[in-house]
Structure formats: C-alpha cells, structure tokens
Chains A and B, each alone.
Chain A
Amino acid sequence: MDDDLQPELLLLPLDGWHRRQGARMVPFAGYEMPIQYTGEGGGIVAEHHWTRTSAGLFDVSHMGQLVASGAGAGAALDALLPAHVSRLKPGRVRYSLLLAEDGGILDDLMVTNITEDDGEARYLLVVNGATKWDDIAYLREHLPDEVTLTHLDEQALLALQGPAADTVLRRLFPQLPENFVFMQSVAIRNEDTVLRVSRCGYTGEDGFELSVPADRAEALADLLVAQPEVRPAGLGARDSLRLEAGLPLYGHDMDASRDPVSADLGFALTKSRREQGGWTGHAACAAKIAGGVPERRVGLVLDGRLPAREGAVVYDGARPVGQVTSGGFSPTLGHPVAMAYVAADHAAAGTPVEVEVRGKRLPATVAPLPFVPHRYHRGH
C-alpha cells in the first residue's frame, strides 16, 4: 500500500516513554501502540506471566474517556444503556453496552458515577479506542441538550493489573480508601494532580485503571515501573490475558451484527431494566431472551498445540456450526483456547466439536468462560 494512503496514526502521550522502554510499536485503533517490550522481562509470554504473578503496567490511553454531565445525565444515560445508571451510587463502576434499536452492539464501555459531594451529576464513560469517534457522534445525537458531553482528550489512562497492584498502589498513594473493592472508583489528590483510580481492568486479575492528565502520565509511569513488582506490558499480553479471562474484544467477539444475548453478556442487562425497558434495544433484547438466539458466544479448548485464530470454522462432522472470533495460545494453561459463536444446540459446555485450521480438523471442546478464573478483589 502507498504510504500516503495510510491514515495518519496518532501518538499516545507516553509514545516517547514506550520507545525508551524498548517497546515495539504497531498501529492499533488509530494509534501507534506498544505491542510488547524488548529486553529483560519483555516479550508477550513474559509480560503475560508477570501480570498474572506480579503487576503489569498497560497504557490504554487510546480509549475514549467521556463525561456526561448535567442534572438529567443519569436519566438520559438510562434511556441509552441497559444499566440502571441513575441508581448507580457515586464511586461505583458498571460494565454496559451501547446498543442499536435491533440490539446490535455498537460498543461496550465502563460507566462510573463520578459525581462529587453535592455537585452536579457527572458520569465517566470509558469506551473503546477504535469506536470512540462514532460513540461521541452517537452520544451527541442522542443525549438531550441539557446534558453536556465532554471528551477528556487531555487525559491518559494507565492500567496496573496483577496480584501485586494493590500493594504497589497503596505504597505510592496511602490516601486510597481502605475499603475499596472491584468496580469502585475514587478521585485522589496527589500533590497538585487529581488521579482517578478505578478498581477494574481487562485481564481477569485484581487491578486498577488510573486516569491522569496527559502531561503527568510520564511521571506516573516512571513512578510505577520504579517499583520492583511492576513491569510494562503491551497489547500482545493484554490480548492473551483478556482471552484467558473470557472477556470479549469489541470488533472481534462482538459488533453491530451481534446482540448481548448471543454474546453471553446478559449480565450487562440489569434485571429490573430487562423487565421495565425504556432503553435503546430493549424490545429486540427482550425478544431474544424470550425466544432464544440461533448462536451463542462460547469458549473452546483445543487439543494439541496449534491455535485456531479468528475466522476459523467450527464443525460438527460435515456440518459447519460456528466460527472462531478470537483465539490463541494460552500462556497460563499451555494449550490453545478460543472464543467462538456456535449454534445454540452446540453451546453447552462439554460439547465436542472440530475447528478447521489450514485444512486440518482440530478436536476441541466447548468450555465455560473464563478459561482462567477471575481474581477480582470483591472484599470480605
């Protein structure tokens, strides 16, 4: 392809920092992003294991950080999202979905109530990098005029993930609340900077996402990797970690042609709201819950060592029964795993199937997700 036909790639606030850390940069979601680091402790598998056993530092500043604010912001988001946003307490985070009327998934996102004491209602939406411009256009069109949508494009987002993340963060920021569990969020003041810390992530491990002004991101990244428990980790490890954790990737494991019921994301359709409706896509989702769906997202565990990648067809004998949407080799388990959409009558855990890779039929078994158990900190 001619160079001048390539869309111009954006640079992350930490671009120079990544390069100094030995990152190999690749295009992703319109940005140049670190896929892995070189040198000691670098490489996808090493970064993956380090995150599972200690703490990996990921730069996810490509993601969109949006704030919907104003007196009616909660109710306005209730009209768009299947979560009960107006019931979400300050400091709480929910996973939710932006849906089309037909139930198609436009994006998945985290919504956090960041309203300060007695302040006007404010909700932080963290959306996918590749879809953020479409999301902004969609939200501007569908939110009422009295709700203001602000794109925090001067904020970086770092994710510190792994069993040592809590120890590290409390050492650096002792002002973190003692009782702070998975899917909670707090703003802490550090010198003259406000840092938003949310206990969530995309690896299946305990961990935090840190929203920080872009011009302070480098100092924070330096501070974090100076801790002996922390090493930088790239997109490659992020992908293998989230696959093991059974977490779907937008644009691969779900898109506008898939709905939350097929995508096995029914937990994002808050129970009371399933019954009451009043959100975009409700009628379509209710019909699918009542009437069933032809295909479902499942996990597949493959025999042998050959991974099945996105696009590989799943068979029951001669009959094609589904397609892999993401797959790879699980560093933790030591064998290949995949996510696939399969016919509903093949979606039960334990169902034997075959996956075709380069003309070979690989034996596989439908498996429950996640492949590697989540280790979120849910409190005692």
Chain B
Amino acid sequence: MARYFTTEHEWIDVDGDVATVGITDYAQEQLGDIVFVDLPEDGAEIAKGKDAAVVESVKAASDVYSPVSGTVVEANAALQDDPALVNSDPEGEGWFFKLAIADESELAGLMDEAAYREFVANL
C-alpha cells in the first residue's frame, strides 16, 4: 500500500483501486479543535482538486479537496460522533472517506511521505 500527499495537506492511501483520504497532522494542527466534519455521501462522484468534505473547527469552516477523481464508496461514520478523532489521529482513525479511483494516472503528480515532510518543513 502506498501513501501520497498533496500540497493542500491531504493524504491518500492507495490499496488496489480504492483510496482512503484524510488530512495530515500538520493540517489538523493548523485548523485547531475540530467540531464537525461534513463528509460526502456514498456514491458521490468527486473530481480531483474539487471540494469533497468540509472541516468545521471552532473558528472556521475549511474545504478538503480530493487528491484524485473517483466515486465515494465509504465515509468514516466514526467522525459523526467523534470529530475530534481528526485531531487525535489524523493520519489513522481520523480518515475521511474512501474512493474508487477513476484514473490512476492522477496519482503521478502527488508527493511521497519524504517529499511532503520536506514541503511542510519549508512552510
């Protein structure tokens, strides 16, 4: 399984033709205390780079973009009851949604973990 990152601080785990998407530890730290996550519906068609979810922190609402295009196959139901999972375990239990990837070639432009850590270090 390979994990990629975007410059918008999303991560994407690719397992076959299904991808799991969430936001990075850096992103949750910037957003602060998360009180609600507005997730896409199962079956929603999402285009690369378009808003797929909205994270509500105490201070503001922030869009989360999909790293690749695809069809939503599952949203993380655990976030409905415990949105703070995004703060406590952003790159694990705090995942947002799973997608059936429409076009694997879109993965080519994403960063690997080392490249993302370097990107964050230079912000």
Whether the Cβ atoms of A239 and B36 lie closer than 8 Å is no
Whether the Cβ atoms of A44 and B58 lie closer than 8 Å is yes
> Is B90 an interface residue, CB under 8 A from the partner?
no
> Is B73 an interface residue, CB under 8 A from the partner?
no
Whether the Cβ atoms of B32 and A236 lie closer than 8 Å is yes
Q: Which of A323-369 contact B (CB under 8 A)?
A: 328-329, 331, 336, 358
Distance between A359 CB and nearest chain B CB, rounded to angstroms: 10
Distance between A247 CB and nearest chain B CB, rounded to angstroms: 17
> Is B74 an interface residue, CB under 8 A from the partner?
no
Per-position 1/0 for B57-69, Cβ under 8 A of A: 1111100000000
Whether the Cβ atoms of B83 and A305 lie closer than 8 Å is yes
Chief secondary structure at chain A's binding surface: mixed
Residue in B35, B38, B54 whose beta carbon sits within 8 Å of that of A329 in the complex: B35
Q: Which of A8-22 contact B (CB under 8 A)?
A: none
| Distance in angstroms between the alpha carbons of A336 and B60 in the assembled complex | 12
Task: Give how many B residues have a beta carbon under 8 Å from the other chain's beta carbons.
Answer: 13
Whether the Cβ atoms of B35 and A305 lie closer than 8 Å is yes
Distance between A325 CB and nearest chain B CB, rounded to angstroms: 16
Chain A minimum-CB-distance residue to B61: A309
Residues of chain A with a CB closer than 8 A to B33's CB: 43-45, 331
| Distance in angstroms between the alpha carbons of A48 and B38 in the assembled complex | 24
Residue in A35, A236, A240, A306 whose beta carbon sits within 8 Å of that of B56 in the complex: A306
Whether the Cβ atoms of A43 and B32 lie closer than 8 Å is yes
Q: Which of B7-64 contact A (CB under 8 A)?
A: 32-33, 35-36, 38, 54, 56-61
Per-position 1/0 for A117-156, Cβ under 8 A of B: 0000000000000000000000000000000000000000
Known: A306-B56, A329-B58. A44 touches B32 (CB 8 A): yes
Whether the Cβ atoms of A45 and B58 lie closer than 8 Å is yes
Whether the Cβ atoms of B59 and A35 lie closer than 8 Å is yes
| Distance in angstroms between the alpha carbons of A309 and B60 in the assembled complex | 8
| Distance in angstroms between the alpha carbons of A240 and B58 in the assembled complex | 8
> Is A307 an interface residue, CB under 8 A from the partner?
yes
| Distance in angstroms between the alpha carbons of A239 and B61 in the assembled complex | 15
Whether the Cβ atoms of B58 and A236 lie closer than 8 Å is yes
| Distance in angstroms between the alpha carbons of A305 and B36 in the assembled complex | 6
Whether the Cβ atoms of B58 and A328 lie closer than 8 Å is yes
Whether the Cβ atoms of B59 and A239 lie closer than 8 Å is yes
Interface residues of B (CB under 8 A from A): 32-33, 35-36, 38, 54, 56-61, 83
- Sample of 20 more A-B contacts, CB < 8 Å, known A36-B32, A329-B56: A43-B33, A44-B33, A44-B58, A44-B59, A45-B33, A48-B58, A236-B59, A240-B59, A305-B36, A306-B38, A306-B56, A307-B36, A307-B56, A309-B60, A328-B59, A329-B35, A329-B36, A331-B33, A331-B58, A336-B35
Q: Which 8 A-B pairs have the closest CB atoms?
A: A329-B35, A45-B33, A305-B36, A44-B58, A306-B36, A236-B59, A44-B32, A329-B58
A–B pairs, 7, beta carbons within 8 Å: A36-B32, A44-B32, A45-B33, A236-B32, A305-B36, A307-B56, A336-B35
